[in-house]
Chains A and B, each alone.
Chain A
Amino acid sequence: MKKIRLPLTEEEISGLKAGEGVLLSGTILTGRDCAHKRICEYLDRGEKLPFDFKGETIYYAGPCPAPAGKACGSCGPTTSARMDAFAPRLLDLGLKGMIGKGERSGEVERSIVKNHAVYFAAIGGAGALYGNAVKKSELVAFEDLLSEAVYRFEIEDFPCVVAIDCNGGNIYKK
């Protein structure tokens, strides 16, 4: 499988094709339902966010607590479609990659192409596998949201499939 270093470069994004398997390494941010809602509330109010997601890859996930000696507990992807209402806005502001599971709306697909971004599918239900691939975890924002808070992960060989590429190639529409 192709090895990809995060954060993504424009060149790397151009080389990704829907359907191909990739191993992701580097840094990502986590964020799911409540974090997305809160990010958009910050944007609505015109306030500065406590972190910058420009050029970043966001992982739609809410981990289990980390047992002693581990960076992270079980941590597989959650259903991406619930973030569809927020994703185009984040992509317009510079988000480059998303990792989740399942199909996206037409609006998100178009926004991925427009913003030269990419959507990776992680394997849902493989929480232990992904949790083990998290080598470092740091709380970034929204601690009160518990598992839904925003964390920065350092990941190593995170197995994913390119689900929607920057040309609109889509594994769910084969």
Chain B
Amino acid sequence: MRIIHSEEIENTVYALAKQACLSLIPSCKAALERAAERETEESAKFALSAVLQNAEVAAKENMAVCQDTGYAVILAEIGQAAHIEGKLFGDAVNDGVRRAYEDFYFRKSICDPLTRVNTADNTPAAVHTEIVAGDKISLTFLPKGFGSENMSRVYMLTPAKGVSGVIDAIVETVALAGSKPCPPVYVGVGIGGTFDTCTFLAKKALTREVGSHNPRKDVAEIEQTALERINALGIGPQGFGGKTTAIGVSCELAPTHIAGLPVAINIQCHCVRCAKAII
């Protein structure tokens, strides 16, 4: 058994929030640079160059790359041989979020769903924990903007729909979102599981590098085909028209029930921000 103090968890979350909100992940920036080279239409090129210029300004000025510093989503893999001492795990995470959003001038975007009264410190975070082997804690911080979150969908397909039904659902979701989620988007897809677990898989898919492929060949083919069909939609950067509507599609899989084929599509804008650490 290894003892990990909650202070270390809190400080790690604090550092991850800072890192994640201030910069794009390198694979996202590279994908946007490739897209900027490919685009021929003036407004599409303008949109992408502004986005790339913005990343530079953010780094130079120490400003959040996007003002929507998001719902703080934390994916934690906790080794079952690790023992946490001090605060409750969730409290440590929330305290790290609270301090980071205050200290680094990030926007506080969390409110009561009905009264809309803001909690004023960007908590609570959305915390997903998985118990894994080992004695370490792995933390992934995903600041999730809601312009894109709003465009996400869940489909409970029948098994007869099969692979083509899954691809249709992915493409339809992006087509319906149109210009609203800040395209070019990054598309996280959960396939299988239950109504709830497939949405978690879709979120988890967004923590993968842009341009990475699922190790299963048939799944990687779904990613590739869906991406090609999405980019044939012509929505383009910011919806101004163009060749790049998505910079990537990432699918994660889980076994499902014999009666169903759940598919969750979680849309991420072109500002892919994510930071990871292992304690």
A contact set with B: CB distance below 8 Å? 19, 21, 33-34, 61-67, 70, 73-76, 78-79, 81, 101-103, 121, 123-129, 131-132, 145-148, 159, 161, 171-172, 174
Contacts and interface: CB of A to CB of B under 8 A. Distances in A.
Contacts of A145: 118
Say whether chain B's binding surface is mostly helix, strand, loop, or mixed.
Answer: loop
Contacts of B181: 79
Contacts of A78: 68, 147
Contact of A19 (B43, B53, B66, B116): B43
9 contacts: A63-B67, A65-B107, A67-B63, A74-B107, A75-B67, A103-B178, A123-B50, A123-B238, A127-B65
Interface stretch (B54-62, B86-94, B123-131): B54-62
8 closest Cβ contacts across the A-B interface? A124-B182, A128-B58, A126-B54, A127-B67, A74-B64, A128-B63, A74-B67, A102-B179
Contacts of B63: 64, 67, 73-74, 127-128, 131-132
A129 B60 CA distance: 11
A128 B108 CA distance: 16
A74 B54 CA distance: 10
A34 B180 contact: no
Given A73-B64, A101-B182, A129 B57 contact: yes
A76 B47 contact: no
B180 A66 contact: no
B195 interface: no
B239 A34 contact: no
B105 A128 contact: no
A128 B61 contact: yes
A121 B42 CA distance: 14
B106 interface: yes
B61 A126 contact: no
A85 B5 CA distance: 49
B241 interface: yes
B269 interface: yes
A67 to B, nearest CB: 5
A159 B50 contact: yes
Nearest to A20: B43
A98 B225 CA distance: 38
Contacts of B180: 79, 81, 101-103
A129 B54 contact: yes
Contact of B67 (A61, A79, A174): A61
B105 A132 contact: no
A153 B179 CA distance: 26
A123 B106 CA distance: 19
Interface string B16-33: 000000000000000000
Contacts of B120: 146
Nearest to A125: B271
Contacts of A64: 63-64, 67, 69, 105-107
B270 interface: yes
B240 interface: yes
Contacts of B47: 123, 161
Interface in B163-200: 178-182
A119 to B, nearest CB: 12
A161 B69 CA distance: 24
A147 B107 contact: yes
A146 B47 CA distance: 29
Contact of B50 (A33, A65, A66, A126): A126
Contact of A125 (B42, B66, B118, B239): B66
Contacts of A19: 43
B107 A21 contact: no
